[in-house]
């Protein structure tokens, strides 16, 4: 799949798809509080976000942000063969090939921003020489919220495989930086603490001139949630906080007329539009 680029003032944001797949569990398990019949209008509006009669089709978008002072990679997909994220979705990701096709060299990346530590956002953090890990993006610092690091590091052993494999070595390698809340990187780039999906979720806000884009990870996972922000997936660790964050950021994206770049919608870039008074995801064609 070809990459696609959004221009935000003088900043270029390129979306690269690591993988397209079906969420392994049916919709009723992925979104347990949503009645099956309630999906019908959303299925008509966003057919690319459904598969068969009862599955959610998701993309796993990663984003390369070329700003004035630095190049940032936001999230690193499910990972390659044998990595826990790839086993979960049932197919390995293609991020390295897709980055190369988009003209991005691994050593150009100055910062890797991990929106959160679920296994579909961390898969290509590292490369391995035999069983010795090294940072796949050798010049980069990896920015993670401390709240996520501490939560995932404290999980029981059998739920920690992805963290142990793809995240924990970043600290021993000296490239992890743990953050406590918002962080201004420069006048074009800032990290916004966006808790709820996980306790340490964060978004990257890009601003340049009058333009802005919000790369918000999994603040919403499915485009239907733009119109139904209370529809949380089972994966929301803190459902009430997640819904609050979703409402607050949707309000901001709409009133400030920003671009929105979610991790799992069919289109990587779009806007929040009003259709008959209700919010809708409007993917950029």
Q: What are phi and psi of 96, to 5 degrees?
A: -60, -45
For Zn ion, which is the closer residue by CB, 120 or 267? 120
- The least distance separating Zn ion from the CB of residue 263, rounded to whole angstroms, comes to 5
Of positions 18, 120, 148, 267, contacts Zn ion by CB under 5 A: 120
Whether 218 and 118 have beta carbons less than 8 Å apart is answered as: yes
Torsion angle of the four alpha carbons 255, 258, 259, 265, in this order, in degrees rounded to the nearest 10: -40
- The least distance separating Zn ion from the CB of residue 118, rounded to whole angstroms, comes to 5
Torsion angle of the four alpha carbons 180, 171, 92, 136, in this order, in degrees rounded to the nearest 10: 110
Contact between 218 and Zn ion by CB under 5 A: the answer reads yes
Task: Collect all residues with Cβ–Cβ distance below 8 Å to 3 and sequence separation of at least 6.
Answer: 14, 15, 16, 17, 98, 101, 102
Q: Which stretch binds Zn ion (CB under 5 A): 33-41, 130-138, 166-174, 218-226?
A: 218-226
For Zn ion, which is the closer residue by CB, 120 or 236? 120
- The least distance separating Zn ion from the CB of residue 208, rounded to whole angstroms, comes to 27
Query: What token pair was written down for 80?
Result: 């390659």
Whether 271 and 282 have beta carbons less than 8 Å apart is answered as: yes
For Zn ion, which is the closer residue by CB, 90 or 103? 90
| # of chain residues touching Zn ion (CB under 5 A) | 2
- The least distance separating Zn ion from the CB of residue 192, rounded to whole angstroms, comes to 17
- Residues 158 and 141: their CA atoms lie apart, in Å, by 28
Total length of the chain: 285
For Zn ion, which is the closer residue by CB, 207 or 246? 246
Collapsing DSSP to helix, strand or coil, 143 comes out as strand
Question: Which residues in the 60-79 window bind Zn ion by CB under 5 A?
Answer: none
For Zn ion, which is the closer residue by CB, 98 or 218? 218
- The least distance separating Zn ion from the CB of residue 222, rounded to whole angstroms, comes to 11
Residue 276 Cα to chain centre, angstroms: 29
- The least distance separating Zn ion from the CB of residue 229, rounded to whole angstroms, comes to 17
Task: Collect all residues with Cβ–Cβ distance below 8 Å to 102 and sequence separation of at least 6.
Answer: 3, 14, 16, 64
Q: Which stretch binds Zn ion (CB under 5 A): 88-96, 113-121, 144-152, 268-276?
A: 113-121
Query: Would you give the DSSP letter of residue 156?
Result: -
Q: Taking the chain, what is the end-to-end CA distance rounded to the nearest angstrom? A: 15
For Zn ion, which is the closer residue by CB, 218 or 236? 218
Interface mask toward Zn ion for 7-46; x: CB under 5 A = ----------------------------------------
- The least distance separating Zn ion from the CB of residue 121, rounded to whole angstroms, comes to 6
**Burial of 200 from C-beta contacts in 10 A (0-12 / 13-18 / 19+):** buried
Q: Which stretch binds Zn ion (CB under 5 A): 41-49, 117-125, 153-161, 249-257?
A: 117-125
Q: Site residues (CB under 5 A) for Zn ion? A: 120, 218
């Amino acid at each position: 799949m070809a990459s696609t680029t959004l221009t935000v003032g003088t900043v270029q944001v390129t979306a690269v798809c690591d993988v397209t797949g079906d969420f392994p569990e049916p919709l009723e398990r992925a979104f347990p509080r949503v009645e099956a019949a309630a999906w019908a209008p959303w299925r008509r509006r966003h057919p690319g976000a459904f598969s068969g009669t009862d599955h959610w089709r998701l993309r796993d978008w990663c984003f390369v942000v070329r700003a004035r002072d630095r190049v940032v990679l936001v999230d690193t997909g499910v990972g390659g063969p044998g990595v826990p994220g790839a086993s979960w979705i049932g197919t390995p990701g293609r991020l390295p090939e897709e980055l190369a096709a988009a003209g991005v060299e691994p050593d150009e990346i100055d910062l890797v921003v991990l929106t959160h530590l679920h296994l579909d956002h961390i898969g290509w953090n590292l490369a391995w020489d035999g069983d010795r890990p090294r940072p796949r993006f050798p010049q980069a610092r990896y920015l993670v919220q401390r709240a996520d690091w501490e939560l995932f590091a404290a999980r029981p052993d059998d739920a920690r495989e992805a963290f142990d494999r793809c995240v924990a070595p970043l600290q021993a390698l000296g490239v992890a930086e743990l953050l406590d809340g918002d962080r201004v990187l420069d006048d074009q780039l800032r990290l916004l603490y966006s808790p709820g999906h996980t306790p340490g979720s964060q978004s990257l806000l890009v601003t340049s001139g009058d333009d802005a884009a919000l790369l918000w990870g999994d603040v919403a996972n499915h485009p239907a949630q733009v119109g139904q922000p209370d529809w949380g997936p089972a994966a929301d660790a803190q459902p009430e906080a997640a819904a609050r964050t979703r409402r607050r950021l949707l309000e901001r994206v709409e009133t400030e007329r920003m671009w929105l770049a979610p991790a799992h919608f069919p289109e990587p870039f779009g806007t929040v539009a009003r259709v008959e008074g209700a919010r809708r995801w409007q993917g950029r064609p």
